[in-house]
Amino acid sequence: MAGSAQVPGAPKTTFPLTPQSTLAVLLAIVRNPLEALPSSIFTEPVVFSKTAGEMKVYMADPALIHEALVKNAEAFGKGDQVRRALGPALGRGLLTADGAHWKWQRQSVAGGFRHDKLLELQPTMIAAAQRTRDRWIGAGDGTVDVSHEMMRTTFDIIVETMMSGGYGVDVDRVEKGISDFLKPTGWTFALGLLHAPDWIPYPGRGRAEAAVEFLRASLLSVIEERRKRPDDRQDLVNMLLSASDPETGRTMSDADIVDNLMTFITAGHETTALALAWTFGLLARRPEIERKVLDEIDAVTEGEPVNAEHVSKLVYTRQVFSEAMRLYPPAPIITRTALRDVQLGEYLIPAGTVLIVPIYAVHRHASLWPDPEAFDPDRFRPEAVKTRPRYAYMPFGAGPRVCIGNAFAVMEAVAILAVLLQKVRLATIEPEPPKPVMKVTLRPNQAQRMTLTLR
Ligand code: HEM
């Protein structure tokens, strides 16, 4: 127990700690942070634990999540752990910044994600999916690595939509760069937990640093090019170039802009690509669900090529994608650090406490989801959604820090699924589905090779 004696009726300041060995947690974090989650968080609303002398609150109760991430959002910051793991690549861009610096960046780019703006981007999304489909149709041996293919497709989309083409940024090197950067993040989280000094070496550090240097240099050249030859395109690069802080009048330096381009490129393609790869894997193992998707695509498109008007009508396909993200949320854990003492439910959480919202566990929680491990897109029928607490499902987070690209991602994913499934059928090669491993995002533990037949 931590804290002092309890006054009746006052918020609780003592916490029922679940014992967790610091060493076991550290080893699990390095291997796969999902394994460091206390197992009781899949059945209990909240779990308190102390590792390396620091209290952590794991929250799976939707009402508590609402209190923390929505109602009291200003009482929390992203914390040192996040900045330590992601700061070297993303600096103080939108995902990693806090307070006023976060707010003006969010306001500066919000216009680019309004519904009307996204509708304009739909044809670009469909065209990218068609390029992938054509590449597949011409593929030699009839197999594809679906994770890699989805990374290429969503990367193509993010570069086209956010940077108007990207001026020859090398997709394969960027994908490898992002993987090299993410691979050792288990170490950065574990060392952060121990408050180890920043210079401590760990496996993969050199490669991760080289990757960041390459990625940031590639983006800097995009900005330099745009500063040299300005234009009036309505893309993210120009939004960032023309942003100014309403309070201070400050504009963004090249480093600020690189921080944000890095943020949007990494957060904006890898997550959607992983979710799509998991979706294809799930569909291939459930032919009756795949059949319903194919029937819907056929009914909506009437055999015509998928176009922008079809996408919003693919209701069941969207349910399938939502259910895939329930089982495999691309961002499986989000964390915050309390900036001040804050009351959450009946507890008074002291400043400095690390709050962990294990989206992966919320989405498989025994009290929120009947038969939680089963893949069942009917859970996302509109009538079924109404019966659940709002934050029982939160692949995009919640509150003011909710994913800015959430509608973009769903629109793009449904478009890609429709364009590809209309023409090809994917079948799994491996007898067992891949296991999810967290490397900031939720990745499969093995390449997802699938065989491909034309429809
Ligand atoms: C399936 C795809 C996606 C998933 C599951 C996802 C998930 C998330 C989550 C959970 C957060 C909140 C993190 C937190 O609260 O700590 C977030 C934030 C963010 N996401 Fe996404 N994301 C996806 C796609 C995208 C796309 C397509 C973009 C951009 C085009 C994007 C850009 C961002 C940015 C910039 C933030 C930081 C927002 C802020 O703090 O104001 N994401 N995302």
pLDDT (tens digit per residue) in 250-285: 899 999 999 999 999 889 999 999 999 999 999 999
**Cα–ligand 1 centroid distance for 106 (angstroms):** 12
Tell me how far apart the alpha carbons of residues 80 and 336 are, in angstroms, rounded to a whole number: 9
Identify whether the C-beta of residue 155 lies closer than 8 Å to the C-beta of residue 170.
no
**Relative to the CA of 336, which ligand 1 atom is closest?**
16
Residue 211 CA to ligand 1 centre (angstroms): 22
Q: Is the model's pLDDT at 4 over the cut of 50?
A: no
| Calpha distance 352→195 (Å, rounded) | 13
Burial (CB count within 10 angstroms: exposed 0-12, middle 13-18, buried 19+), residue 232: exposed
Q: Ligand 1 pocket, 349 CB below 6 A? A: no
The pLDDT score that the predictor gives to residue 1 is 40
- Under the banding of pLDDT at 50, 70 and 90, the label for residue 412 is very high
Q: Across residues 283-293, what is the average pLDDT? A: 97
Residue 413 Cα: closest atom of ligand 1: 1
Query: Is the residue at 14 inside a domain?
Result: no
In a domain, 442, yes or no: yes
Atom of ligand 1 nearest to the CA of 109: 35
Q: What is the CATH number of the domain that holds 280?
A: 1.10.630.10
Task: Supply the range of the domain harboring residue 391.
Answer: 22-454
Q: How many domains does the chain have?
A: 1
Q: Assess if residue 8 is contained within a domain.
A: no
User: Are 445 and 435 in contact, with CB atoms under 8 Å apart?
Assistant: yes
For 17, residues 6+ apart whose C-beta sits below 8 A from its C-beta are: 1, 2, 48, 49, 50, 55
Look at residue 352 and tell me if it is in a domain.
yes
Q: Is residue 17 part of a domain?
A: no
pLDDT at position 139 is: 73
Does 395 contact ligand 1 (Cβ within 6 A)? yes
Q: Give the 3-state secondary structure of residue 291.
A: helix
Q: Residue 281: CB within 6 Å of ligand 1?
A: no
pLDDT at 2 (0 to 100)? 43
Residue 204 is classified by DSSP as: T
| Centre of ligand 1 from the C-alpha of residue 95, in Å | 8
Burial class (CB in 10 A: 0-12, 13-18, 19+), 373: exposed
13 part of a folded domain: no
In a domain, 437, yes or no: yes
Alpha carbon nearest to ligand 1 atom 21, residue: 403
Higher-confidence position of 313 and 23: 313
Whether residue 330 has its Cβ less than 6 Å from ligand 1: yes
Ligand 1 pocket mutation pick from 153, 239, 265, 271 by most atoms within 8 angstroms of CB: 271
- 3-state DSSP: the chain helix, strand, coil percent, rounded to 5? 55, 10, 30
Q: Which of 167-181, 336-350, 383-397 has the lowest mean pLDDT?
A: 167-181
Q: Could you give the CA distance from residue 337 to residue 220 in angstroms, rounded to a whole number?
A: 32
Q: How far is the CA of 189 from the centre of ligand 1 (A)?
A: 20
- Residue 199: pLDDT band (50, 70, 90) is confident
Question: What pLDDT does 197 receive?
Answer: 83
Q: Does any domain span residue 1?
A: no
pLDDT higher than 70, residue 76: yes
> What rounded mean pLDDT belongs to the chain?
91
